[in-house]
Chain A
């Protein structure tokens, strides 16, 4: 069964460094998302992406964040200058647009980002 994959599974970085989290959505999906979950808190929406542009973003998604679909398969989240409070599990998700689609979102296993 097709699945969303994410790399790396765990990333440790120092405050102020740039990180890139990578995702490979399900191949025929057209809508892509990033969410994050700080330890012990709710899963929070960051950004959605369709047709090579951001379609919606939350107030969390400020100028230090960016997303990109550099080729036909990868979807990346870049954090330019990491802060301690960026430590969280980051989830990528995708959904399709087939006829009659429910737009069900399928999530990857997550990347645990630890900022020290």
Chain B
């Protein structure tokens, strides 16, 4: 059974700092991995998707890497801003199921960026 773990559970940084969020998964047979942002009481906003054949994906100040063989992904946020404060979730889709199959989520990292 796929298990997804995110470290740290919470992170508080000053504005402008570069930071790394970590995600690990127990079964390396994944189809892809998505990073989401969740604001309090709100839905999930997809930030980046990395296919299993890719090593990294970039969008603006965000860069996500994937090391499938070791079961790890990182989300790098450059020059953090107070507006980046949110919970960040990673989720994997298992390769053994259908290509449109379910996502398995980590518990999230709560990020606070203070001015």
Contacts and interface: CB of A to CB of B under 8 A. Distances in A.
Interface of A: 31, 33, 35, 41-45, 48, 50, 55-56, 58, 91, 93, 95, 97, 102-110, 112
Nearest to B43: A109
Given A42-B105, A42-B107, A102-B32, A107 B46 contact: yes
Contacts of B99: 103
Interface SS majority for chain A: strand
Contacts, number: 62
B23 interface: no
B43 A91 contact: yes
Interface residues of B, number: 27
Interface string B91-102: 101000111111
B103 interface: yes
A90 to B, nearest CB: 11
Sorted from nearest, which 6 A-B pairs have the closest CB atoms? A109-B43, A45-B102, A107-B44, A43-B105, A31-B100, A104-B49
